[in-house]
Amino acid sequence: MASLLALSGAVLWGVGDFLGGLATRRLAVLTVLAVSQGVGLAGVAVWVALSDDAFPGVVELLPAAGAGLAGLVGLGALYRGMAVGAMGIVAPISAASPVVPLAVDAAHGVVPGPLQWLGVALVLVGIAVLSTETSSVEGSRVAAGVGLALLAALAFGGFFVGIDAGADESVPWAVATVRSTSVAVAFAAVVASRATLRAPRRLVLVLLAIGVFDTAANVVFAQASTEGAIGIVAVLSALYPVVTVALAWLVLRERLGLGRRAGGVVALAGAALVAAG
């Protein structure tokens, strides 16, 4: 069940991220975030009411609140990165997020094993290959969107740590806290920046779909983390860039050279080894 839920989460996140990157090419990032994050809040509230779970307490849900903030930052960076750069480059780099839980474990005295060190090395090699592009005019340079992809990876790593801790108390309340925090921060940012929430009619359904896919992914990931080992769940969930890249290839006809495709595979393999270890 944990594996099935984790794979479902990867598919849902992959589709939602593709749609988010697509929408951000036409709308401001804050507009996409605020509307899409707000979509799932009502459904999550109903889920909490039906679950009949007791409120764990404010302190117990602080990690989930942190996950909500980190997830929002990660999505914003990922969406913008895919708007200015190639999805086939940005999405795999963002999958380096398991390195963050590894660092947290190390800070608590859990020494990384050989498999994890190998994973970190592969992630760094994959990122280096993906990040560099050759121009006939400027020579080698950093590819567009790489910095945002790295920020997304760090933020998603924080999201995984926070939601795992919150889900141990209550899955529905953890997801509700994540979503409430992200919605509150997104709308506060909209007000502060005086951004608009208006979107063309042709994009309204896309924004609704982003919210549905992202919320559903949060739900199944949180549930999966309580059903099985978080390492295995993280490995399978980290496959979401495969879906995003496949959609970019099918819908946008995005093409990458053989070397860049190999770099993406190496980065994803490294992320999987880090999480598995």
Q: Residue 170 pLDDT > 70, yes or no?
A: yes
CA atoms within 13 A on the CB side of 2: 12
Measure Cα distances from 256 to 87, 115, 246 in Å: 10, 29, 12
The DSSP letter of residue 136 is: T
Specify the pLDDT at position 133.
60
Q: Residues 181-236: pLDDT tens digits?
A: 999 999 999 999 888 888 888 888 999 999 899 888 888 887 887 776 665 676 67
Specify the pLDDT at position 134.
55
Specify the pLDDT at position 224.
81
Q: Residues 39-94: pLDDT tens digits?
A: 888 878 888 888 888 899 899 999 999 999 999 999 999 989 888 887 877 888 88
Q: Residues 227-274: pLDDT tens digits?
A: 766 656 766 777 787 788 888 888 888 776 777 678 778 877 877 776
Measure Cα distances from 13 to 7, 19, 128, 220, 245 in Å: 10, 10, 24, 10, 12
